[in-house]
Structure 1
């Protein structure tokens, strides 16, 4: 019987310690005050709302053109150089354009594209091979 009472007393003390720990600003943000959103007094600066970028903003900041053989692929469409130029002209001049060419891409096709981009004032492009 004494062992049982001793064990019960030990369990009660452990439960009380856990309750006190969590109740009085406990471990890992748990506790009474944690959900109120109070700042820690030791923080250097307050947090600001992070700047979010939408998918549309990212599309405006970058464009990818794939050259395969004598064809230009842009936005999952096969376009002629004239139609591609019309689509690219809608983009801002500071847009980063990535030109990806596969093994079958004709060098003169890539050169025509880069010459046209430079002519239009899009100097922020880079070539990337697959």
Structure 2
């Protein structure tokens, strides 16, 4: 009889632990605890919500190219220099191009970009301050 009561007690305790975890009994652990149900204002969501406003307010005669390491970022895409040249070629020659480089940008990568812009006939570009 003691064995049956001991097994029954262990089963009840296991069921309680499972129920508490599954139904968020232990301080946020359990199902749906990692999906942000309580705090819907995370930084990434705030940025995503703000992007359409930024895109809509963009000047049609302006473009921004970001240089990060040895990569070129244009219109939220990572491009090679040749692919970037094709995209830039679609822009008007009077378009004001801003070149932004982060701390990891290689100097020769920025120089290659400015040489390519000169080669394509775009003289209206500037390097933004960090």
Q: Could you state the TM-score of these two structures normalised by the residue count of structure 2? A: 0.55
Question: Residues 1-130 of structure 1 correspond to what in structure 2 (within 5 A)?
Answer: 55=56, 58-59=59-60, 61-130=61-130
- Equivalents in 1 of 2:115, 2:83: separation in Å? 16
- Equivalents in 1 of 2:129, 2:79: separation in Å? 20
Paired residues of 1:102 and 1:129 also in contact (CA < 8 A): no
Q: Which runs of 5+ in 1 are unaligned?
A: 1-54
3-state DSSP of counterpart to 1:99: strand
- Equivalents in 1 of 2:116, 2:64: separation in Å? 15
3-state DSSP of counterpart to 2:118: helix
- Equivalents in 2 of 1:65, 1:90: separation in Å? 14
Q: CA RMSD in A?
A: 1.5
> Given the superposition, is the C-alpha separation of residues 57 and 127 from structure 1 closer, same or farther in structure 2, using an over 3 Å criterion?
closer
Residue 56 of structure 1 and its aligned partner are, at CA, apart by 8.5
Residue 129 of structure 1 and its aligned partner are, at CA, apart by 3.0
- Equivalents in 1 of 2:112, 2:127: separation in Å? 13
- Equivalents in 1 of 2:129, 2:107: separation in Å? 12
Q: Could you state the TM-score of these two structures normalised by the residue count of structure 1? A: 0.55
> Given the superposition, is the C-alpha separation of residues 92 and 56 from structure 1 closer, same or farther in structure 2, using an over 3 Å criterion?
farther
> Given the superposition, is the C-alpha separation of residues 109 and 119 from structure 1 closer, same or farther in structure 2, using an over 3 Å criterion?
same
Aligned residues: 75
Residue 110 of structure 1 and its aligned partner are, at CA, apart by 0.2
